[in-house]
Amino acid sequence: MTILNRPRRMRESSFSRTLMRENSISVSNLIYPMFVIEGTGIRQDIESMPGIQRLSIDELVKDASECHQLGIPAIAIFPCIEKQLKTDDASEAFNDDGLVQRAIKKLKKEIPGLGVISDVALDPFTLHGQDGLIDKKGNILNDETVSILTKQALSHAKAGADIVAPSDMMDGRVGRIRKSLEENKFINTKILAYSAKYASSFYGPFRDAVGSSELLGKSSKKTYQMDPANSDEALNEVKLDIQEGADMVMIKPGIAYLDIVFRVKQTFNKPTFVYQVSGEYAMIMAASSRGWINQDDVILESLISFRRAGADAIITYFALEVARLMNSKQ
């Protein structure tokens, strides 16, 4: 049989597969999300996220140093706040001496070269676990929430955060935060906007980690996070955040939303990040712990798919493990 075009020819040897490889993943594409908790010497397991722990600031600095040494450019920190500090008005969120603010200061002092991304949202600080303030009927108040988020972002910037990352999905928050940063001369503080954040059921383990799931109960976040059925709406959200001054935009969750990553990158050509969220982590860990899938291979395959879709960087709980793996192979 004469077949002129045999695509298998190029797949035949390792060297030619390497030469024609279109995308790559390296440690420099990874961001490691970390959970911080009050105290010293504390490393607390999170049941639904095996391998991930809540860390007190001293322990956080140790793992963050390893990230830096292995070449991970930045970490993202999320607090698990003590119950007695949670209030209806979330005022602990902008306490200049709060847990997050102290963690940022310590990280920037000890590891100045490591980028620090802070989460701007109220869910770790509210008694009801929602990302915003609520009225008597339980409706999320947009503009009142934006005022608190702006104070929170400014307080993170003052503590030394390199990037503030609003993950709340209120309208107009990126613009207000940008204005406040400019007015207070934080002209180099970057904004990573969680622009297309879906009302997803993949966030469950994260809510266990920051202690908001029991407070949230059966209530949902559907009045501010996006409907998983929509895609044009994501482009509109991204457009608004860019107009309001976002430096980077994010799509979240990851694997189930690769079409959104692709459309956003193609349309706007902005630094585009994706968040491989806690539920995605938990699924891979659960199946691989039973020996049903190969852990390292599945992790790397999921990461390359984000890059193929157009993501520049990936926030992933696998970042540290992957960095260790890649460094050991060099």
Torsion of CA 36, 118, 150, 268, to 10 degrees: -150
Contact with ligand PBG (CB under 6 A) among 131, 162, 237, 241: 131
Interaction of residue 250 with ligand PBG, rule CB under 6 A: no
State which of positions 211-240 bind ligand PBG (CB under 6 A): 221
Strands (E) in 9-155, as ranges, are: 30-37, 43-45, 53-56, 74-80, 115-120
Identify residues 271-310 at the interface with ligand PBG (CB under 6 A): 277-278
The answer to whether the beta carbons of residues 75 and 33 sit under 8 Å apart is: yes
Q: How far is the CB of 312 from ligand PBG (least distance, A)?
A: 19
Which of 66-74, 145-153, 203-211, 289-297 is the region at the interface with ligand PBG (rule: CB under 6 A)? 203-211
The verdict on whether 86 is a catalytic residue reads no
Question: Which residue matches tokens 């109960």?
Answer: 217
Active-site choice (86, 151, 190, 197): 197
Q: Which of 105, 106, 221, 252 is catalytic?
A: 252
Q: How many residues bind ligand PBG (CB under 6 A)?
A: 12
Give whichever of 183 and 227 is closer to ligand PBG, judged by the CB atom: 227
Minimum CB separation from ligand PBG for residue 37, in Å? 16
Please identify which residue in 106, 190, 207, 263 interacts with ligand PBG, judged by CB under 6 A: 207
What is the separation of C-alpha 144 from the centre of its chain, rounded to a whole number of angstroms? Answer: 24
Which residues is 192 bridged to in the sheet? 248
197 is catalytic: yes
What percent of the chain is helix, strand and coil (3-state, nearest 5)?
45, 20, 35
Burial code (b: 16+ CB inside 10 Å, e: under 16) for 202-218 equals bbebbbbbbbbbebeee
Q: Which stretch binds ligand PBG (CB under 6 A): 173-181, 200-208, 235-243, 263-271?
A: 200-208
Where in the sequence numbering do the catalytic residues fall? 197, 252
